Amino acid sequence: MADPDVNEVFEKCLGCRYMVGILRHIQAGVNRPGQLERAVDGLTAKVLSERLRRLVEFRVVEKQSYAETPPRVEYHLTPFGARLLEIVEEVERLQKEATRA
Amino acid sequence: MADPDVNEVFEKCLGCRYMVGILRHIQAGVNRPGQLERAVDGLTAKVLSERLRRLVEFRVVEKQSYAETPPRVEYHLTPFGARLLEIVEEVERLQKEATRA
DNA sequence: CGGAATCCAAGAAGATACTG
DNA sequence: CAGTATCTTCTTGGATTCCG
């Protein structure tokens, strides 16, 4: 990114529909588009590819293409993406605490 | 919240336009709607009140009304909200690191 | 299979006017 | 000053189709 603005990570990445679900599946080893599409409820191929492009743009995931037939593509978390996921977990914990209280 | 879903915090709170800006101003002591509206560039009264309602709903901020004339209202971070802001800071740090790398 | 293009429906946001 | 209601505009997401 040219202008690393924290607002953008939230508005254009984490805040978009399906994003947290997609990321968690990637984290769990669901790395191919077709699998992600089936794994995340309601998610369509078009929206998924938009999300993945956005995640690559923000350096949250990295794309790997293999010159095979049929073509295979995999997405993996970057170190930044991995930290981001930890933070999502942290928010989830905070939320549960706050709810219990 | 009845159903504390971490997706919702991102999609309906942090991921919305102006949200991070609004929260940071509240954190910095800009607690009244009128002041927030002037402080956050491009933000209108209508959108601001939507955001504030959402933040109250998610227990990120608390609303305090004073029976004065003219009426005065203040919004303050809850403990959960304060932790959330710390996390925003953390993401910002990570982002800068990732950019430097 | 992965992904881009198109078209349409749904939701978010901007502008304005109005009430307590 | 704070907040709601209405209307319009723009952006996002959903369904389908086509290409490499």
Q: Identify the band that residue A3 occupies on the pLDDT scale cut at 50, 70 and 90.
A: low
Are A39 and A30 contacting, i.e. CB atoms less than 8 angstroms apart?
yes
Check CB contact of A63 with chain B, cutoff 8 Å. Answer: no
A10 touches chain B (CB under 8 A): yes
Q: Is the pLDDT of residue A12 over 60?
A: yes
Beta partners for B77? B61
Measured from the Cβ of residue A22, the count of other Cβ atoms closer than 10 Å reads: 24
Taking the stretch 25-84 of protein chain B, residues with Cβ within 7 Å of any atom in nucleic acid chain C are 42-47, 50, 70-71
Establish if A55 belongs to a structural domain: yes
Q: For position B51, which CATH number holds?
A: 1.10.10.10
Label each residue of B51-97 as H, E or C.
HHHHHHHCCCEEEEEECCCCCEEEEEECHHHHHHHHHHHHHHHHHHH
Measuring CA to CA, how many Å separate B16 from each of A41, A82, B63? 22, 23, 20
Instruction: Strand C: list positions under 7 Å from protein Cβ.
Output: 1-6, 12-17, 20
- Element (H or E) spanning B23, and its range? helix B19-27
B54 inside 8 A of chain A by CB: no
> What range defines the domain where residue A77 resides?
6-100
Q: Is residue A20 in a domain?
A: yes
**pTM for this entry:** 0.94
The band of B73, judged by pLDDT with boundaries at 50, 70 and 90, is very high
Tell me whether residue B1 is in a domain.
no
- Give A54-63's long-range contacts (Cβ < 8 A, gap of 24+): A54/A12, A54/A13, A54/A16, A55/A13, A55/A19, A55/A22, A55/A23, A55/A81, A57/A1, A58/A1, A58/A8, A58/A9, A58/A12, A58/A13, A59/A1, A59/B98, A60/A13, A60/A23, A60/A84, A61/A23, A61/A26
Among candidates B96, B89, B87, which has minimal Cα distance to B9? B87
The Å distance, CA of B101 to C1' of D9, is 41
| Closest CB from B9, B79, B99 relative to A4 | B99
Tens of pLDDT, residues B13-72: 999 999 999 999 999 999 999 999 999 999 999 999 999 999 999 999 999 999 998 999
Tens digit of pLDDT for each residue in A56-76?
999 999 999 999 989 999 999
State the pLDDT confidence band at A101, using cuts at 50, 70 and 90. Answer: confident
Residue type, B31: N
A1 lies in some domain: no
Does A83 score more than 90 pLDDT? yes
Per the structure, the count of domains in chain B is: 1
Give residue-wise pLDDT tens across range A33-44. Answer: 999 999 999 999
**Which of the nucleotides lies closest to B53 (Cα–C1')?**
D3
pLDDT score recorded for residue B1: 45
- B chain contacts of residue A95, beta-carbon cutoff 8 Å: 4, 6, 9, 80
Among residues of chain A, what percentage have pLDDT more than 90? 90
Point out the residue nearest to C13 (C-alpha to C1').
B47
Give yes or no for residue A100 having a pLDDT over 90. no
Question: What's residue A1's pLDDT?
Answer: 46
Q: Which residues pair with B65 in a beta bridge?
A: B73
Q: Which nucleotide is closest, CA of A45 to its C1'?
A: C3
Residue B100 has pLDDT above 50, yes or no: yes
Indicate the Cα dihedral angle B4, B10, B13, B18, nearest 10°: 170
Q: Could you tell me if B22 lies within 8 Å of chain A, comparing CB atoms?
A: no
pLDDT tens-digit readout, A40-58: 999 999 999 999 999 999 9
